[in-house]
A = this chain, B = another copy of it.
Amino acid sequence: MKIRAAVLEAFDAPLEVQEVDLAGPKAGEALVRLVACGVCHTDLYTASGADPSGYVPTVLGHEGAGVVERVGEGVTSVEPGDHVVTLFSPQCRDCEHCLDPRTNLCLAIREQQNRGYLTDGTTRLSREGEPIRHYMGTSTFAEYTVMPEIALAKITPDAPLDRACLFACGLSTGLGAAMNTAQVASGSTCVVFGAGMVGLGAVAGCRLQGADRIVCVDLSPERLDLARGQGATDTWAAGPDTVQQILDLTRGFGADYTFEATGSVEVMRQAVESARMGWGLATVCGVAGKGETMDIVPRFLITGRRIAGSSFGGVKGRDQVPQFVDRYLAGDVDVDAFVSHKLTLDDVNRGFELMEAQDGIRSVIDFA
């Protein structure tokens, strides 16, 4: 079939929205009609050429939600008409990692996905017979996509898809960092560095875990307003004294849990140094620049701090994304507040511009 899609033709150049060919789903795959898709920093990271594992041409987009239109042979977990969230982090439920509660890093299709191919090592996307690679196994800046069923989280049809799509990446990453990776204990003191989509999700996750005090630190007053809406009890302008401020707040000890959601290695260091002596856990969520390293003074570890990280918030997507969506519908997370702009697919580059201008939290492409 012919579909319209936003193609990355060359790094550091605007995406080109054009007609491409999409083949039908093979065994284990499903054809999904996209209804909504968030524009995420990771899309921009690859488009800019900064991502060392990037490739072109490819159809970008990974924060998608839509409706299953058709399924390939042997597909049992979704059927036409199902509402789904796309998962760049699949869950086969069968590999060594899916069977282990400690990690969400499914091994089933990892290698092919990283190279831009579906499970069988080929693409369903093409143009004049030349393959176009699938980005993050998702390629959701498109009217339709074909994905393995293990990368589709079936959600309740009651959820608006232009909200549900945020659970495909940023929001789940933040919620999961607090709920899965750190497993924030009730009554604790938390600090979240960065109030973008991931940081705001972490604030909400800390609140859902019953944290007593949630400090959010960012440069933008608008974002700090949003953090208060998600449950931050204290919001501070980021600065060179942030670590000292946290120590002052906590009788010199530091916070039980800190979260870094900025991608800055300097902030990662602050997250470690402001975690509590004795048991503080610093959770790293952001993706650092190529070649950058965190500098950690070992003394902070010897005195009982720990450092963790996670991809997609440690969320096992097919299991947990539907649960997150249900909590959203139950009123536990105010997702509306995150959707700052609605765009058409033709406006996708505008989504990148808004992101670079730090205008709002999320632009969502509406395919309706």
Contacts and interface: CB of A to CB of B under 8 A. Distances in A.
A294 B292 contact: no
Contacts of A310: 302, 304
Interface residues of A, number: 36
A28 to B, nearest CB: 24
Nearest to A103: B278
Interface string A281-300: 00011111000111111111
Interface string A79-121: 0000000000000000001001011010000000000000000
Contact of A307 (B102, B105, B307): B307
Contact of A277 (B105, B268, B300): B105
Nearest to A302: B309
A305 interface: yes
A308 B306 contact: yes
B268 A105 contact: no
Interface in A166-201: none
A303 interface: yes
Contacts of A97: 278
The CB with the most chain B CB atoms within 10 A, among A285, A287, A298, is that of A298
The CB with the most chain B CB atoms within 10 A, among A285, A288, A307, A314, is that of A307
B284 A298 contact: yes
A105 B310 CA distance: 28
A145 interface: no
A265 B306 contact: no
Contacts of A300: 309
A309 B296 CA distance: 12
A265 B293 CA distance: 13
Contacts of A301: 284, 307-309
The CB with the most chain B CB atoms within 10 A, among A268, A293, A301, is that of A301
Interface of A: 97, 100, 102-103, 105, 265, 268, 277-279, 284-288, 292-311, 314
Given A287-B302, A302-B311, A306-B307, 5 more contacts: A102-B278, A288-B297, A300-B309, A303-B309, A304-B314
